[in-house]
Amino acid sequence: MRTLALLVIWEIWKERNSRVLRHHGHPVHEVMTTIKNEAIVWIRAGATHFGEPSRFCINLLGSSVFPACKTLLYQ
């Protein structure tokens, strides 16, 4: 979960910079989608401390499994 915390903080920081420095922000659902997609990339790149990938995908995404998680989990 430490890796997930770093990812979330990093993405929020980038969004903050976009809003403050560029005067352009994204809706919350887009930021969440970015976090989800980046998490999949990080897992595939070997990031640790996300927990079990299947549990991570289901917990992060609620009751449905995100398509990228399906690819990761069922390949």
Say how many C-beta atoms besides its own lie within 10 A of residue 9's C-beta.
10
Residue 57 DSSP SS3? helix
The span from the CA of 31 to the CA of 17, in Å, is 13
> pLDDT tens digit string along 31-74?
999 988 988 888 888 877 665 554 555 455 444 445 555 554 44
Is 65 within 8 Å of 58 (Cβ atoms)? yes
> Hunting for tokens 């809003």 — which residue is that?
19
Interhelix angle for 53-61 vs 28-44, to 10°? 180
pLDDT at 22 over 60: yes
